[in-house]
Amino acid sequence: MAHTTTTAQLQDELIDACMWGEEDRARELISRFGAEPQARALLEKMLQEEDARARQAAAFGLGELGGAAGVRRLEQQLTLEEARGDYDGESVVEEIIRALGRIEDTEARAALVRKLERLAATEPELSDVNVVTQALWKKRHPDLISTVRRSLAQLGPKAHGSLPGLLVLLEKTPEELREWVRSPSVSMEDKTRVITVLEADLPDALASTLPSFISAATALLEKAASQEGEAAYYCDRLFALFLLFKERVLPALPEETRAELRTLARNLVPAVSPNCSFGAAVLLKHIGQPEDAAVIEANRPEDSVGAEAFDAIARALRGRQGQP
């Protein structure tokens, strides 16, 4: 009985960790499920629960354990969840797709390709296409190019989501990507799609292309600051990308590039778009100087939560006085 209680507690804690997006905690809990066969059996049992949160946690766990057996079970569950046709099923589908994107097995990529092909044969939601796109980027391989092209041809332009961004990343070398981003003939929407895909994974070879993305944003500065349109959204996603990988990317930026990014963020704190403004302020917290606190304070949002966040950023910047 004690063992059953302990197992139930671990499962409840895993559900809680996954619900709050605490992946490190979730991984530690999975390691306490026992040896792999036992852990896999417990997770597969959780996949049969009525509670969608339990099924999401189980999918995460099986993704961590990996292996061909895990891929087969997840793809089987994917079919079951799709058949539900409800919100709970959709939420589990998303977690299964993310789990497949983490598994180091060629069968995982094949399962994701089959999912993309099923989507292309329907009229999918953009969010469904985007989740599969990011998972496929994690499983990137030249063999995917023909599949992505075929799927884009089947999908209507309004259902493309970020999939065109995946094709760009699969087809271009880092140097070709730099030139593509700098080109004024490439739409801002397409550049944003690439950034959205990179949010799933930013390899070192492509981190070197970030200065080109910053330069493209700088060229849009006036429009991004004054309108809630594609330019502001591009800058918002660019700031989000830097923040996602801040520990690795920000310290590695050349001094000139870092200065350009700081100037961009300073100029977009007053942006009309709340998301763009907030992203710029948060980025300044990491790359700004004490004198940037005045810009933050001058553009405090009216809502109490936003104002409190801006105040905290201003205090952090002022506290940097005298630091290199």
Band of pLDDT at residue 320, cut at 50, 70 and 90: confident
Q: What type of residue is 284?
A: L
Among 5-14, 37-46, 62-71, whose mean pLDDT is lowest? 5-14
pLDDT of residue 121: 94
158 or 136: which leads in pLDDT: 136
Q: Give the E-state strand segments of the chain in sequence order.
A: none
Q: What is the DSSP letter of 48?
A: T
Domain 35-120+129-140 indexed as CATH 2.40.70.10: no
DSSP 8-state code for residue 307: H
Kindly state the average pLDDT of the residues 122-126: 92
Distance CA 5, CA 295 (A): 54
Exposure string over 162-196, b if 16+ CB within 10 A, otherwise e: bbbbbbbbbebeeeebbebbbeeeeebeebbbbbb
Q: Structural domain boundaries of the chain? A: 35-120+129-140, 170-324
Tell whether the model's pLDDT for residue 2 goes beyond 60. no
Predicted confidence (pLDDT) per residue in 189-215, tens digit: 999 999 999 999 999 999 999 999 999
pTM, rounded to two decimals: 0.92
Q: What is the pLDDT of residue 6?
A: 79
Q: What percent of the chain has pLDDT over 70?
A: 98
CB 77 within 8 A of CB 47: yes
H/E stretch holding 57: helix 52-65
Indicate the length of the chain as a whole number.
324
171, two tokens: 């087809």
Q: What is the average per-residue pLDDT within 210-226?
A: 96
> In one letter, which amino acid is 177?
L
Residues 6+ apart with CB under 8 A from 241: 195, 198, 199, 202, 210, 213
**DSSP summary character for residue 273:** S
